């Protein structure tokens, strides 16, 4: 390999590495702001009540026609796609009960040490694993 080529290779590797690092920083910021959104009293922990309040707010925002059910059209506004999995009986509609039970599962998955609340570390570790950054 000649010198120019090897320098070129180094630069390419470095650029690639920097882009990757920047991406994971951005994802980390997104995850942290997600945590702060749910942690309403900003004490560094998400309690089941805070998670429930977040779920209800999220549900009401998506339920544009306020009929208590999120249908397929309303579901497309859910950018996280998390609610897609809430449809237990596959009728393409999400009821309040389905959404609540999905968030309960979500809470249990996040609460790694099972102390009944979610720390910021538990929250970020979960998303790091899922997004692999
Ligand atoms: Ca809190
Ligand atoms: Ca609706
Ligand atoms: Ca915990």
Residue 93: give its domain's CATH number.
Answer: 1.10.238.10
Determine, yes or no, domain membership for 13. no
Determine, yes or no, domain membership for 2. no
**Do 94 and 86 meet the contact criterion of CB atoms below 8 Å apart?**
yes
Q: Looking at the CA of 67, name the nearest ligand.
A: 2
Determine, yes or no, domain membership for 14. no
Q: How far is the CA of 25 from the centre of ligand 3 (A)?
A: 24
Determine, yes or no, domain membership for 93. yes
Q: What is the pLDDT of residues 13-71, one digit of tens each?
A: 655 555 666 788 889 999 999 999 999 999 999 999 999 999 999 999 999 999 999 99
Determine, yes or no, domain membership for 11. no
User: Position of tokens 């009401």?
Assistant: 60
Range of the domain at 106: 28-131
> Which residues make Cβ contacts (< 8 Å) with residue 46, sequence separation at least 6?
35, 38, 39, 107, 110, 117, 118, 123
Number of structural domains (the chain) is 1
Determine, yes or no, domain membership for 9. no
Determine, yes or no, domain membership for 80. yes
Higher pLDDT among residues 88 and 110, named by residue: 110
Q: How far is the CA of 8 from the centre of ligand 3 (A)?
A: 47
Q: How far is the CA of 42 from the centre of ligand 1 (A)?
A: 5
Residue-wise burial string across 4-20, b where 16 or more C-beta atoms lie within 10 A, e elsewhere: eeeeeeeeeeeeeeeee
């Amino acid at each position: 390999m000649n010198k120019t080529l090897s320098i070129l290779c180094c630069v390419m590797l470095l650029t690639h590495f920097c882009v990757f690092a920047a991406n994971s920083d951005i994802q980390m910021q997104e995850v942290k702001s997600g945590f702060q959104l749910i942690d309403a009293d900003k004490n560094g922990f998400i309690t089941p009540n805070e998670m429930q309040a977040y779920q209800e707010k999220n549900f009401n925002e998506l339920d544009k026609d306020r009929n208590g059910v999120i249908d397929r059209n309303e579901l497309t506004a859910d950018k996280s796609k998390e609610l897609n999995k809430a449809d237990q009986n596959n009728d393409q509609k999400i009821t309040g009960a389905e959404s609540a039970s999905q968030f309960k599962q979500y809470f249990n998955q996040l609460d790694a040490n099972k102390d009944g609340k979610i720390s910021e570390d538990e929250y970020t570790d979960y998303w790091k694993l899922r997004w692999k950054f």
